[in-house]
Amino acid sequence: MNKRSFIIDAKRSVIGKFLGGLSPLSAVDIGTRVVAAILRDHDLKPDTIEEVFIGQVVQAGMGQNPARQVALNAGVSNNVTAVTVNQVCGSGLRAVMTADRAIRSGDVNVVLAGGMESMTNCPHLLRGLRDGSTKMGDTTLIDSMVHDGLRCAFDACLMGETAEYVAEKQRISRAEQDEWSVRSHQRAAKAIADGAFRREIVPIEIVSRKKTVTVDTDECVRADSSMEALGKLPTVFRKDGSVTAGNASALADGAAMVLVASETAVSEHGWKPRAKILSASVAGGPPRELFTATIPAIRAALDKARLKTSDIDLYEINEAFAVQSVACVRGLEIDAERVNVDGGSIALGHPIGASGARILTTLLHGLERRNLRRGVAGLCLGGGNAVAMVIERV
């Protein structure tokens, strides 16, 4: 049994906007580039990695086991097994949690974990052809991105509709949501201008017949976001509601990967760990109230680590919608100045299978740049669940 697992490295691609710079690449392509960079940076042999866990939500049309495709394409030995994880928006962090458990159980010592998604390339589905039920007349294409990634399977509603429900129940105003969104964009824009993300981002070259373009800057951030501009946007899910495109996360493409190792592996390879995983936890509740499930998940993770909210220097709480972020800050009674200090998914974008690993990556780098000690990453996810992890710099 291993007492603890350690984060050796964490990297990500840029977060590409929907139909943006990363659109020529599949999720597997993006994930492969990030994994290959980690292997290259640490001069890892193909069989150093003992297991691979990678999250992806919308897998339609991707071929068998996308995680295995990434592993082999990136140069991991074909003797190494790989598992594709799907826990909706929590997939990327759940993959890292699975790596942590595998290491602490003593089964393995070095694991590559993370998440990936290309929302741009999610296919449309056509049902009824196999059984001949569409012999005559029109039929309907189903958007796999919406059906498998953005629609509640229990309440048959879009995530934005559940955001409206939580906003009404928690009495969170349009102004509060817009204020959170503007702050997210301002913080992300400052982080980009200051070069804060350079160390965590793997630049990706897109080669076409005409030219080669290097994609190395997050594409969704709007530096000119303002309360005035957001206030002019119409609501999307209810005529008299408060959720708009401006206070919701953007559809996006991207990948993030984390190299996790046991204390034994750290010693054998002479690695200098960047953080240790103190604890991880999950929570569940009614599907319609998913946006507040992050609160008990974070509390449970803190309890496992025997810590209080005041012991945490930085929080990365995924911004699926601003209403969720406001609700979590209220529910946890924490200072918003410690939450998503370099912007969140509203500004950066939310490639759903990747976001869990992305916020963990950004959290680690943010702690390092500020010379802080402890951080929490947390996400809610469709169906009423949530995941959370506590890390501490070494």
Give the residue numbers marked as catalytic. 89, 350, 380
Distance CA 118, CA 107 (A): 32
Distance CA 136, CA 1 (A): 62
> Helix 355-370 and helix 91-104: axis angle, to 10°?
70
Q: Which residues contact 97 (CB under 8 A, 6 or more apart)?
A: 280, 387, 389
Closest CA to 293 of 96, 83, 144, 87: 87
Instruction: Take residue 298 and report the two structure tokens written for it.
Output: 């974070």
> Helix 322-332 and helix 159-170: axis angle, to 10°?
40
Report how far apart, in Å, the C-alpha atoms of 65 and of each of 36, 144, 254, 256, 258 are: 18, 17, 18, 18, 19
Closest CA to 291 of 108, 167, 135, 132: 167
State the greatest distance between any 2 C-alpha atoms of the chain, in Å, as a whole number.
67
